[in-house]
Chains A and B, each alone.
Chain A
Amino acid sequence: MRRHLLIFVLWALGASQCWSEDFLGVPLLPGGKVTSWTNDKAEVHYALPYEQILEFYKSHFTDNRDVKFRDWKGETYIEDHGASPWHSVRISKGQPVVTVTITRDSWAWILGTLALRFISVFVVLMFLYIGLSISGTVMSRLVTEAD
């Protein structure tokens, strides 16, 4: 309890620092503490419930079909597939502090994911290759034994 109170006091003191209403067009819920603010990334800490922050972004993106919400184990990952300048919003599921991280769209992500998926196509067909090779060998042996 005392720890939570201390965090809240520290929070209240720091919350007034450098506040902006949005980052790359993604709105920021008021009352957070900005811990990182660069050209490519913004990170804000909140002493609010995770559900409240998630609801804020859900209502904001409700009509945007290019925005996808993914519920991961430690965070909710919001990804933009449209032409917006931002790429993702991550909302951590931590307590008592929830971290919201917004990142700029980047070619590194696009090229990285494409390379990975191209390799994955090889992996899929490689598994099929292995499967066929094994079944081919087994079948050949069975035929030889039968003969």
Chain B
Amino acid sequence: MSINELWDLALGMFYATGIWAINWKYPTMWAVAFFFLYLAIVKKFEPLLLLPIGFGIFLVNFPLVPLMGYNEEGVPHLIQFFYRYGLEWEIIPCVIFLGLGAMTDFGPLIANPKTLLIGAGAQLGVFVTFTGTVLAGFTLKEAASVGIIGGADGPTTIYLTQHLAPQLLGPNALAAYSYMAMVPLIQPPIMRLLTTREERLIRMKQLRPVSKRERILFPVIGAGIIAILVPAVMPLMGMFMLGNLMRESGVVSRLSDTAQNALMNIVTIFLGVSVGATMQADTFLSWKPLLIFGLGLVDFAVCTAGGILTVKVMNLFLKEKINPLIGSAGVSAVPMSARVSQIVGQQYDKKNHLLMHAMGPNLAGVIGSAAAAGMFIAMFD
């Protein structure tokens, strides 16, 4: 073998590596990936999602890596395969909702159904942010997908974004999960700002016990009403109510257990890594993700305020007053925001237990954000 042939061979081997194609964009994306891995591993912020998302970002941001494209025969690469059949086909968010339904105890909401209105009021930020996002230069569909971040519901955000503005899937999902993890930091100042000391001390009557029949009826009634009024969101809510019916009926405990654990864990892995893999340097490094993070924060704040203000308005008409601190739980972020209501409440009265009361608006927030998503889908479809 001549020296020239040896040189060509070495050159060929060099071009088969990714070294020659690395530019500044890749290390920038590695830094983004490490930031989210840090949040997940060190800070324990939503680790179930942020860890696979962070690693997904890391994996796809190397040149020549066959993960998120198609081979010469048009067959999808590994993560592209997960993405196409899981997210493009809008399957994973719905399966996650099945698991969430199977994990959810609607007792507090059934015992005090007027807290449903708090879940509606807490969607204020979704619609306010829509306006701000349009002003920032996004299209209407993009604005809807950014607005829903404030609903603090990851699967709903992913579902709506995939449906309306798939190009924003990565930043939107990241913003939603990051801010959901930061609820204990974002909400308390707003809660203190919008309530008086007297309001924070309001004690609420203990919730009535809820019968098994009521628990079984809830997903049936809920699915029926939502199917009639917001059919666009039934892929999500139908699965949610099915999961809940499996749980409450008590006759399919094996299915309920699978939906809550094994199935939920499997789809969470695929969801996280697929969402992370959408954030390739060429599409992610622009002004839009930064704006989305800024708008998402405003969105969360306005949604929190919306829930609290809704309670204050309701209190004008109610004989038995509601502690407005539970209004902040109207953003879904289950059960984190309900816990925040409890913690802030106990800072003023150690014997005031708000957790179960806050679970009502918390669960209403899940339904409310899905309803808001349905409104947007109906608007554009």
> Which A positions have Cβ atoms within 8 angstroms of B?
66, 68, 81-83, 110-111, 113-115, 117-118, 120-129, 131-133, 135-136, 139, 142-143
Cβ–Cβ < 8 Å partners of B226 in chain A? 124, 128
Q: Which of B113, B134, B137, B214 contacts A128 (CB 8 A)?
A: B113
Q: Which of A113, A124, A131, A143 contacts B371 (CB 8 A)?
A: A124
Pair A128/B222 contact, Cβ less than 8 Å:
yes
21 A-B pairs within 8 Å (CB atoms) are namely: A66-B141, A81-B139, A81-B380, A110-B131, A110-B140, A111-B131, A114-B127, A115-B127, A117-B379, A121-B371, A121-B375, A125-B116, A125-B120, A129-B113, A129-B116, A129-B117, A132-B113, A135-B218, A135-B221, A139-B214, A142-B213
Indicate if B344 sits at the interface (CB-CB under 8 A): no
**Whole-angstrom distance between the Cβ of B51 and the nearest chain A Cβ:** 33
**Whole-angstrom distance between the Cβ of B132 and the nearest chain A Cβ:** 11
Q: How many residues of B contact A (CB 8 A)?
A: 42
Query: CA of A139 to CA of B208 in the docked complex: distance in angstroms?
Result: 13
Cβ–Cβ < 8 Å partners of B92 in chain A? none
Apart from A81-B380, A122-B121, what 5 extra A-B contacts exist at CB < 8 Å? A81-B141, A117-B379, A121-B375, A124-B226, A132-B218
Pair A122/B120 contact, Cβ less than 8 Å:
yes
Counting chain A CB atoms within 10 Å of each CB, the highest count among B114, B140, B211, B226 belongs to B140
**Whole-angstrom distance between the Cβ of A80 and the nearest chain B Cβ:** 9
**Whole-angstrom distance between the Cβ of B198 and the nearest chain A Cβ:** 27
Indicate if B130 sits at the interface (CB-CB under 8 A): yes
Indicate if B123 sits at the interface (CB-CB under 8 A): yes
Query: CA of A106 to CA of B36 in the docked complex: distance in angstroms?
Result: 39
Q: Which 10 A-B pairs have the closest CB atoms?
A: A132-B113, A117-B375, A125-B116, A125-B120, A122-B120, A124-B371, A81-B140, A114-B127, A131-B221, A118-B127
Pair B368/A125 contact, Cβ less than 8 Å:
yes
Query: CA of A35 to CA of B252 in the docked complex: distance in angstroms?
Result: 66
Pair A136/B371 contact, Cβ less than 8 Å:
no
Indicate if B152 sits at the interface (CB-CB under 8 A): no
Pair B130/A139 contact, Cβ less than 8 Å:
no
Chain A binding surface SS class: helix
Cβ–Cβ < 8 Å partners of B218 in chain A? 132, 135
Cβ–Cβ < 8 Å partners of B213 in chain A? 139, 142
Of all chain B residues, the one with the shortest Cβ separation from A68 is B380
Pair A113/B379 contact, Cβ less than 8 Å:
yes
Cβ–Cβ < 8 Å partners of B116 in chain A? 125-126, 128-129, 132
Contacts known (A66-B139, A110-B131, A121-B375); A133 close to B113, Cβ less than 8 A: yes
Q: Which of B347-381 contact A (CB under 8 A)?
A: 364, 367-368, 371-372, 375-376, 379-381
Query: CA of A37 to CA of B259 in the docked complex: distance in angstroms?
Result: 59
Pair A136/B368 contact, Cβ less than 8 Å:
no
**Whole-angstrom distance between the Cβ of A106 and the nearest chain B Cβ:** 12
**Whole-angstrom distance between the Cβ of B309 and the nearest chain A Cβ:** 13
Indicate if B194 sits at the interface (CB-CB under 8 A): no
**Whole-angstrom distance between the Cβ of B211 and the nearest chain A Cβ:** 6
Cβ–Cβ < 8 Å partners of B95 in chain A? none
**Whole-angstrom distance between the Cβ of A43 and the nearest chain B Cβ:** 24
Q: Which of B127, B131, B224, B229 contacts A117 (CB 8 A)?
A: B127
**Whole-angstrom distance between the Cβ of B49 and the nearest chain A Cβ:** 25
Query: CA of A68 to CA of B117 in the docked complex: distance in angstroms?
Result: 33
Of all chain A residues, the one with the shortest Cβ separation from B378 is A117
Cβ–Cβ < 8 Å partners of B214 in chain A? 135-136, 139
Cβ–Cβ < 8 Å partners of B110 in chain A? 132, 136
Query: CA of A99 to CA of B326 in the docked complex: distance in angstroms?
Result: 53
Cβ–Cβ < 8 Å partners of B368 in chain A? 121, 125
Cβ–Cβ < 8 Å partners of A128 in chain B? 113, 116, 221-222, 225-226, 367
Query: CA of A139 to CA of B210 in the docked complex: distance in angstroms?
Result: 10
Indicate if B119 sits at the interface (CB-CB under 8 A): yes
Pair B139/A124 contact, Cβ less than 8 Å:
no
Indicate if B230 sits at the interface (CB-CB under 8 A): yes
Of all chain A residues, the one with the shortest Cβ separation from B123 is A121
Cβ–Cβ < 8 Å partners of B137 in chain A? 83
Pair B113/A123 contact, Cβ less than 8 Å:
no
Cβ–Cβ < 8 Å partners of B10 in chain A? none
